[in-house]
Amino acid sequence: MKILVTGCFGFIGYNFINSILKNNSGEFLLLGIDSLSSPYSRLNYKNLGESEYFKFYEEDICNISNLDFSNKDQIDLVINFAAESHVDTSIYNPSLFIKSNILGVNNLLNFCVTNKINNFIQISTDEVYGSTETEFYNESQILNPSSPYSASKASADMICNSYKTTFGLNIKTIRPANNYGIYQQPEKLIPFSISNLVEKKELEIYGDGKNIRHWLSVKDTVSAVKFIMEKGEQNEIYNIGSDEYLTNNDVARHLIKIFKLDESSIKYIEDRPGHDHRYAVNFDKIKSLGWSPNYNFENSLPETVEWYLANETWWKKDLENIRKNRLKRF
């Protein structure tokens, strides 16, 4: 099977291609696309190594028509991991998200129609449902995004739905919960907190820290994508969650415990605008097909911390710019 993987050197995309290539004996040929706009994606590209089962094209998905793939008609599946994903950035630069997450997806779908590629997997997010105080949203829930980021992802989901109906594409949409794990850029809560604690700075938490999320290991997300790729039904949406609902305060306490610190290491800062209080998804649909998460937070977080401690040169690559942007974020 020939698979076109976009955003192949981003957080989830890179974990995905590493997993496929590690266990691949020739059944999968991966064609990777990434703009390499981030210093972290450029490092991942340099670190990947050679593989006869992977070919890379440096390009933004907004310009995919510029690429000349050989044997385009043999591409069996497109998996779109490419996205701008940091909510804070979407607040002070929403246009970036409209371009990548909406127009970019539209370009990919047009590419599929033009080249008769019938199978497409869109990696979305649970944030498209918006906040809920008590419910666990299933896949039929009306979308109610709050941030420019989640709105751009919800828009992409709707465009995907239109291409199912209008052009007959077979599209599976995956909505994972809050991911954590190795190769996550240090603008996100867990790696940013690790970087602060390593450098003897305070661990910063927005608002009162009571915001609740499903926390999902990226290893489980990768396994779910592979599972849906092989066993998911066409033109269906799948939530990917876990049974671990933690507040940001819970996450902070887990981290300071690993670093053998106390709660004086936690600093509460001004909340971001429109910060959703609780995300929660019902993922019975994929569980009914035989998938379930394998990694729990308490055991996986120390492994994640250990990786970041062993790879300081990776996460420090653009850390100062991330900190500067964090200060001007709103």
Is the pLDDT score of 329 beyond 80? no
Cα–Cα distance, 165 to 170 (Å, whole number) = 9
Q: Is residue 308 part of a domain?
A: no
The single residue of 14, 149, 163, 238 carrying the catalytic annotation is 149
The single residue of 127, 157, 187, 276 carrying the catalytic annotation is 127
H or E element that contains 137: none
Residues 6+ apart with CB under 8 A from 164: 170, 171, 235
* Residue 68: CATH number of its domain: 3.40.50.720
Q: Is residue 315 part of a domain?
A: no
- CA separation, residue 254 to residues 93, 145, 257, 259 (Å): 32, 29, 5, 9
Is the pLDDT score of 65 beyond 90? no
Q: Is residue 7 part of a domain?
A: yes
Digit-coded pLDDT (tens) for 99-142: 999 999 999 999 999 999 999 999 999 999 999 999 999 999 99
Digit-coded pLDDT (tens) for 140-193: 999 999 999 999 999 999 999 999 999 999 999 999 999 999 999 999 999 999
Q: Is 127 a catalytic residue?
A: yes
Digit-coded pLDDT (tens) for 294-308: 999 999 999 999 999
- CA separation, residue 263 to residues 160, 191, 198, 249, 257 (Å): 45, 18, 16, 10, 9
Q: Supply 44's token pair.
A: 């991942």
Q: Is residue 66 part of a domain?
A: yes
pTM for this prediction: 0.96
Total domains present in the chain: 1
Digit-coded pLDDT (tens) for 252-271: 999 999 999 999 999 999 99
The single residue of 60, 84, 126, 244 carrying the catalytic annotation is 126
Nearest partner of 102 among 74, 130, 124, judged by Cα: 124
Q: Is residue 58 part of a domain?
A: yes
Cα–Cα distance, 159 to 200 (Å, whole number) = 45
Helices (H), 115-217: 148-167, 189-198
The pLDDT of residue 122 is 98
The pLDDT of residue 25 is 81
Q: Is 149 a catalytic residue?
A: yes
Q: Cβ of 304: how many Cβ atoms within 10 Å?
A: 21
- Domain of 89? 2-180+217-240
DSSP 16-41: HHHHHHHT-SSS-EEEEEE---SHHH
